[in-house]
Amino acid sequence: MKKVTFKTSGAEATIELRDGVIVKSRVPKRYRVKEIDGRLRRERTKIETKLIAEARKSGVPTPIIYDVMNCEIRMEYIDGAQLKQGLDAGLSERVGELVGRLHTTGIVHGDLTTSNMILSGERIYLIDFGLAYFDQSTEARGVDVHVLFQTFESTHEGHETLIKAFVKGYRKTFGGADDVLQRVKEIESRGRYRTERL
């Protein structure tokens, strides 16, 4: 019998560590027709697997995929600490470089938070591509970066320094960085406008 070291559940999937291997299983949704639900879960699992592989090809460290079967992904366990447990300007600049590579490839992560980044040795790994998708629009990339900046502000001290460091790294690896960063400012102003109207 395989040993389960830990198990956690989210809205879309359960994640278990079984004998040193991460197993991510998309959970059935009872409100959907069974056949449609099965097809959607298989398709999303296949897409997530492809996105992880493409990100890795672009120079972004991600877990190695061992196997994919139906709605289950078996992948490498990354032993390290989430960046939410400790982020400095140097690490933030490196995150900027990784996100720049990701965006250059046309991938939007969809959940860019420091909970989905693991520092293992000298490498920063991006994990959880469950909400990721292919999109080369400035808007999609802007939302991706905006989510990360919100995480900096709500979770980490000295968020302004972290943002500046991220921007430096992002510009190194992504040619359209300035357009995206301008869009981030527009997205922030939209949020302020909505808040003021409430």
Could you tell me if 79 and 22 are in contact, meaning their C-beta atoms sit under 8 angstroms apart?
no
Mean local confidence (pLDDT), 55-70 = 96
Percent of the chain with pLDDT over 90: 78
Contact 33, 49 (CB under 8 A): no
Residues 14 and 155: their CA atoms lie apart, in Å, by: 25
* Separation between Cα atoms, residue 7 and residue 25, nearest integer Å: 11
- CA–CA distance, 67 with 143 (Å, rounded to integer): 31
Among the listed residues 57, 71, 60, the one whose alpha carbon sits nearest the alpha carbon of residue 23: 71
| Per-chain mean pLDDT for the chain | 91
Q: Does the pLDDT at position 36 exceed 70?
A: yes
Work out the pLDDT band at 4, boundaries 50, 70, 90: low
- Is residue 196 scored above 60 in pLDDT? no
Burial class (CB in 10 A: 0-12, 13-18, 19+), 128: buried
Q: Is 164 left (phi over 0), alpha (psi -120 to 50) or beta?
A: alpha
Active site residues: 111
155 sits in which H/E element: helix 138-155
> Which tens digit of pLDDT belongs to each residue from 92-128?
999 999 999 999 999 999 999 999 999 999 999 999 9
Q: Where in the chain is the domain with CATH 1.10.510.10?
A: 81-197
Long-range CB pairs of 24-31 (<8 Å, 24+ gap) are 24/72, 24/73, 24/75, 24/130, 25/71, 25/72, 26/71, 26/72
* Range name among 6-20, 22-36, 157-171, 183-197 with the lowest pLDDT average: 183-197
CATH architecture of residue range(s) 81-197: Orthogonal Bundle (1.10)
Question: What stretch of H or E contains 80?
Answer: none
| Residue reference for tokens 């990354």 | 78
24 beta partners: 15, 73
In sequence order, what are the residues at sequence separation of 6 or more whose Cβ sits closer than 8 angstroms to the Cβ of residue 192? none
Residue 197 has a pLDDT of 39
Q: Please tell me which residue, 121 or 30, carries the higher pLDDT value.
A: 121
DSSP single-letter state for residue 84: G
pLDDT given for residue 70 in this prediction: 86
Compare 179 and 13 and report the one with higher pLDDT.
Answer: 179
- Fold observed for domain 4-76: Phosphorylase Kinase; domain 1 (3.30.200)
Instruction: Give the pLDDT of residue 7.
Output: 72
What single DSSP character describes residue 28?
A: P
* pLDDT at 108 (0 to 100): 98
Q: What is the pLDDT of residues 116-167, one digit of tens each?
A: 999 999 999 999 999 999 999 999 999 999 999 999 999 999 999 999 999 9
pLDDT in tens, 37-56: 889 999 999 999 999 999 99
Residue pair 90/62 in contact (Cβ under 8 Å)? The answer is no
Which pLDDT does position 5 carry in this prediction?
A: 64
Q: Where along the chain do the CATH 3.30.200.20 domains lie?
A: 4-76
Which residue in the block uniquely carries the two structure tokens 């981030």? 184
Q: Are 86 and 142 in contact (CB under 8 A)?
A: no
